């Protein structure tokens, strides 16, 4: 689920820069849904790693995700000011692909799935 979400989100995020205004909202909702599907998987994996501290594990995963997103938003905004928002959106669309190799190294879960 995690790898599929990451792979599918890249083309959906990339297309946001080229769809007509009428279709933009639908494409944005679809891309956001596909990209966020992996959030529950990340939390479940963290809870499985630390079963005695599930709340802490969940909070750390979510906190890291939100904190990283907030820091990168500042950098993306500065880059958009300098190079244009379209180019930055296209570049950011490929970030999920960069995380696929990391996702593939994750250990198997108790049910035998990644």
What pLDDT band is residue 109 in, cutting at 50, 70 and 90? low
Max intra-chain CA distance, the chain: 49
> Between 21 and 77, where is the model more confident?
77
pTM higher than 0.85, yes or no? no
Sequence ranges of the domains in the chain: 2-104
Asked if pLDDT for residue 77 goes beyond 90, the answer is: yes
pLDDT of residue 67: 92
DSSP sequence for the chain: -HHHHHHHHHHHHHHTTTS-HHHHHHHHHHHHHHHHHHHHHHHHHHHHH-GGGHHHHHHHHHHHHHHHHHHHHHHHHHHHHHH-HHHHHHHHTTHHHHHHHHHHTSPP-TTS--
pLDDT tens for each residue of 15-72: 988 889 889 899 889 988 988 888 888 888 888 888 898 899 889 988 998 899 899 9
Query: Any idea which residue has 């933009």 for tokens?
Result: 24
* Chain centroid to CA 29: 14
> Between 43 and 81, where is the model more confident?
81
Phi-psi sector, 25: left (phi>0), alpha (psi -120 to 50), beta: alpha
What pLDDT band is residue 81 in, cutting at 50, 70 and 90? very high
Task: Give the Cα separation of 56 and 95 in Å (integer).
Answer: 27
């Amino acid at each position: 689920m995690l790898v599929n979400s990451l792979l599918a989100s890249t083309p959906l995020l990339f297309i946001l820069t080229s769809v007509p205004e009428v279709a933009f909202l639908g494409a944005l909702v679809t891309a956001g849904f596909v990209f966020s599907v992996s959030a529950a998987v990340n939390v479940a994996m963290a809870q499985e790693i630390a079963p005695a501290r599930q709340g802490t594990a969940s909070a750390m995963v979510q906190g890291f995700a939100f904190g990283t997103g907030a820091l990168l938003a500042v950098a993306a905004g500065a880059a958009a000011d300098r190079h244009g928002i379209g180019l930055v959106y296209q570049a950011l669309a490929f970030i999920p692909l960069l995380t696929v190799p990391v996702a593939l190294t994750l250990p198997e879960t108790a049910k035998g799935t990644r």
